[in-house]
Amino acid sequence: MNITQIQTPYYLIDERKLLNNMEKIAYVRENSGAKSVLALKCFSTWSVFPLMSQYMDGTTSSSLYEAKLGQEKFGRETHAFSVAYSKDDIDGLKEISDKIIFNSISQLNMFYNDVKHKIIGLRVNPGVSFSHFDLADPARKYSRLGEIDIAKVEAVLDKISGVMFHYNCENDDFENFASTLDNIAKKYDNILRKIDWVSLGGGLYFTKDGYPIDKFCEKLKNFANEYEVQVYLEPGEAAITQGCELVCSVLDMVRNEKDIAIVDTSTEAHALDLLIYATPAKIAEETGENEYMIAGCSCLAGDVFGTYKLARKLKIGDEIRFADTAGYTMVKKNWFNGVRMPSIAVKRLNGETELVREFDYNDYVNNLS
């Protein structure tokens, strides 16, 4: 369809940009042996799973519903992880998951008899991490994410076949990754030599332009060979970076010391990750001398996408595109203020744009009770 026919706001996913990331992920698997499973907590828009599943090995989840989505819509390997499972979760997961990873030894022991016929893993907190934000730091002080006592982990090795070290968040520093992996290998050498697989989690930005991907592959391959393990990566952002735009329109122009453009979308409702981490949106257009604050249409005073210097002068009705709005953005959209939910459109590999989902008042009503 003609993209101009789609009413704003809408998320526009570009499969050609996704393909660039997919090809890099496939390259890593071919040259290192490491498998990649999509982290659904970051991105779960299943209308593009047919493309992604050609290049990735499956999905990893943080809940029963995510695992069901991965198994039904993506296929291939279905990995399950949760900070804490309920009995109902386990009853559901043991029917659909290939691998179940526990966050604690307590839960491992609690549910072992239910899932002992499955591939079982345990999350280990190595006490080191890379994150720009304390909120997202897996090894932050008092972190509940993973076991920290090596002796206790060794005591349950007869119940598990692998471990997960998820200790990165948007880490694009290869040297940091390499040195930290060396330290983890040294610290957990005895454990690593007794298991079959290791997940290094997500948060590794190896699809970024200029990343030394061949060194990354070599490091992974050497690690796998040394310990005779299958390495798994859990890319989220790395899988979909630069793959989506949030397209909106200017509803009004106001002035309070500076020019403010109010758009038909909202950080609180449609780009919550920006608000949580107090980061500005990336804007997909040329810069210039015309400065505007671009703000959302919700009642929240701090509903602001950022302040930008644009090459053009903005007016009511103009379209604005925010870049890189796939990861941790679409999964967090909500109905705050009853603001119109962005539609979802996909620009397919053949160049045609498909409107795959629209939301209306009934969706708003049915989201409540």
Q: Convert the pLDDT of each residue in 81-133 to its tens digit.
A: 999 999 999 999 999 999 999 999 999 999 999 999 999 999 999 999 999 99
Domain containing residue 49: CATH number: 3.20.20.10
Give the chain's mean pLDDT.
Answer: 97
**204 and 277 both lie in a single domain:** no
Domain endpoint, select from 209, 240, 271: 240
Domain assignment present for 25: no
pLDDT for res 182: 97
Residues contacting residue 198 through CB under 8 Å, at least 6 positions apart:
162, 163, 164, 165, 192, 223, 227, 229, 230, 231, 232
Helices (H), 188-294: 189-192, 213-227, 237-240, 267-270, 272-277
User: What is the rounded average pLDDT of the residues 342-366?
Assistant: 97
Q: What is the C-alpha separation between 330 and 236, in angstroms, rounded?
A: 13
Query: Is the Cβ–Cβ distance between 204 and 237 less than 8 Å?
Result: no
Q: Is the pLDDT of residue 5 over 90?
A: no
Residue 65 binned pLDDT confidence (cut-offs 50, 70, 90): very high
Number of independent structural domains in the chain: 2
Helices (H) and strands (E) in the chain, counts: 13, 17
- Mean pLDDT, residues 347-363 taken together: 97
Q: What is the pLDDT of residues 191-244, one digit of tens each?
A: 999 999 999 999 999 999 999 999 999 999 999 999 999 999 999 999 999 999
In this structure, the number of other CB atoms found within 10 A of the CB of residue 236 comes to 25
Number of neighbours of residue 230 by Cβ within 10 angstroms: 15
CA separation for the pair 237, 243 (Å, rounded): 10
Give the C-alpha separation, 206 to 213, whole Å: 6
Residue 157 resides in a domain: yes
Question: What pLDDT, on a 0 to 100 scale, did the predictor assign at position 68?
Answer: 98
As a whole-number percent, the residues of the chain with pLDDT over 70 amount to: 100
Same domain, 73 and 210: yes
Same domain, 253 and 348: yes
Cα(245)–Cα(243) distance, integer angstroms: 7
Within 8 A by CB and 6+ apart from 11, the residues are 45, 244, 245, 246, 247, 325, 326, 330, 342, 343, 344, 345
Closest CA to 62 of 35, 50, 36, 44: 44
Task: Identify the sign of the CA torsion 191, 192, 195, 199.
Answer: positive
Residues 305 and 255 in one domain: yes
User: Which of the listed residues 191, 209, 240 is the one where a domain comes to its end?
Assistant: 240
- pLDDT of residue 258 exceeding 80: yes
- Confidence at residue 196, expressed as pLDDT on a 0 to 100 scale: 98
Q: Which structural domain range is residue 150 located in?
A: 33-240
Q: Give the pLDDT band (50/70/90) at residue 2.
A: confident
